[in-house]
Amino acid sequence: MLVLGLTGNIGCGKSSVSTIFMNHGIEIVDADIVARHIFEDLDLLNKVFSTFGETIKNEDGSLNRKALGNIVFNDDEKLIALNNLTHPKIKENILKKIEEYKTQGKKIVAIDAALLIEDNYLPYIDKLILVTCKKDIQIKRIIARDNCTEKEAISRINSQMSQEDKAKFADYIIDNSGPFENLEQQVLEIISVLQGE
């Protein structure tokens, strides 16, 4: 089984590439979806509340993700603290899912994660695909998607490894600065190469 890593910084359109992959029969393990479900583990949720305070707790006791995001995206130490709590559990669940697909006889599976490189997933993948875009487009997409200010968008971008540094690890780089048709063409070319391997 070929295991792909699909990564890209916030607002670059990694999810669009993921959708194209799914539409062409490639299974996706989405780290964001896995991450959402880890907070069903009450021990972990309580550790997050005790680390970051009650202001991130909704009235029903669930996690207020926006409040948590505002804390960690503006403070490197707090982002590291959150990652230290959550990432081992996320990785464990992602690798479990990969094994499930392997036993089902799937040919190609992709791990879709913004922090693939930073969280040391490279030993688990065969090929790394990086989705990039121009910074001004990235900022506009983040503002539109997250309903945040330009300053908040830039803060989120700056909290991640740069696109240039990520490119050093990539086997394939997809530029998603243009129209969807251009993106789809790039992805289909990569799928064609991968299915031939």
Distance CA(145)–CA(117), nearest Å, equals 24
- Is 177 labelled as part of a ligand binding site? no
Residue 51 sits at φ, ψ, to 5 deg, of -80, -40
- HSE-CB at 97 with a 13 A cutoff on CA atoms is 19
- What pairs with residue 44 in β-bridges? none
Alpha carbons within 13 A on the beta-carbon side of 140: 6
- 16 is annotated as contributing to ligand binding: yes
- The answer on whether 14 is annotated among ligand-binding residues is yes
User: 150: which 2 tokens?
Assistant: 């330009």
105 marked as part of a ligand binding site: no
Binding site, residues?
Answer: 11-16
Binding site for ATP, residues?
Answer: 11-16
